[in-house]
Chain A
Amino acid sequence: DGGITQSPKYLFRKEGQNVTLSCEQNLNHDAMYWYRQDPGQGLRLIYYSQIVNDFQKGDIAEGYSVSREKKESFPLTVTSAQKNPTAFYLCASSMGTSTYTFGSGTRLTVV
């Protein structure tokens, strides 16, 4: 079945550590996105990519980095520069302006 796979489901980060969240899709979608969700709030866009080897900053890109070397993959790195990384991270993909498909999310906690 086609879909988006995010891993891991839970992730713990120590102070000053970089961590990478995985997002893989087999829907043949061109565009992929990373959103952050804080408790009781909507989603805020971190980065998005409309094509391989190209990506754009969203509203809250500071402290995050991404790569898009393959159409299927769009990993997100949370760097030590992100001072408040504890949140629920959602990856999504779409074909143009059509319906978005979301992964099941990664919950990141700073310990």
Chain B
Amino acid sequence: KQEVTQIPAALSVPEGENLVLNCSFTDSAIYNLQWFRQDPGKGLTSLLLIQSSQREQTSGRLNASLDKSSGRSTLYIAASQPGDSATYLCAAHNNAGNMLTFGGGTRLMVKP
């Protein structure tokens, strides 16, 4: 059974810092790896999707990488802003069955 872990669980940084969020998964047989953002009391917003054949995806200040062999993905946020404060979740889309398995999330606070 796929298990997804995110470290750290919480992170507080000053505005302007570059930061890395980590995601690891136990089963490398995945279709893709997805990163989401969740604001308090809200649903999830899709940020980036990396196909299993890809190494990374970029969108604006966000860059996500995928290393299937080691079961790891990272989300890099450049020049962080207070508006980036939210919970970031990664999810692995398994080959067996059409479903996502989520990590516990990293709660990010960017201080002005």
Q: Report the bound CA distance from A104 to B46 in whole Å.
A: 13
Q: Which of B12-20, B65-73, B75-83, B98-106 contacts A (4 or more CB under 8 A)?
A: B98-106
A99-B49, A100-B34 are known contacts. Are A107 and B41 too (CB-CB below 8 A)?
A: yes
Tell whether, in the assembled complex, residue B43 and residue A90 are in contact, meaning their CB atoms are under 8 Å apart.
yes
Total number of A-B contacts with CB less than 8 angstroms?
Answer: 63
Distance in angstroms from A33 CB to nearest chain B CB is: 7
A42-B89, A43-B89, A99-B34 are known contacts. Are A48 and B45 too (CB-CB below 8 A)?
A: no
Tell whether, in the assembled complex, residue B44 and residue A42 are in contact, meaning their CB atoms are under 8 Å apart.
no
Q: B42: CB under 8 A from chain A?
A: yes
A42-B105, A90-B43, A102-B43 are known contacts. Are A97 and B98 too (CB-CB below 8 A)?
A: yes
Query: What are 28 A-to-B residue pairs whose CB atoms are below 8 Å?
Result: A4-B43, A33-B99, A35-B102, A40-B107, A42-B102, A42-B103, A42-B104, A43-B100, A45-B99, A48-B98, A48-B99, A50-B98, A56-B97, A58-B99, A90-B43, A92-B44, A94-B98, A96-B98, A99-B34, A99-B46, A99-B49, A100-B34, A100-B44, A102-B36, A102-B43, A104-B42, A104-B43, A105-B42
Which B positions have Cβ atoms within 8 angstroms of A? Answer: 4, 6, 9, 31-32, 34, 36, 41-46, 49, 89, 91, 93, 97-105, 107
Having A42-B89, A43-B44, A105-B42, one finds 19 other A-B pairs with CB under 8 Å, namely: A4-B43, A6-B43, A35-B102, A40-B107, A41-B104, A42-B6, A43-B100, A43-B102, A45-B99, A45-B100, A48-B98, A48-B99, A50-B98, A90-B44, A97-B32, A97-B93, A97-B98, A102-B45, A105-B43
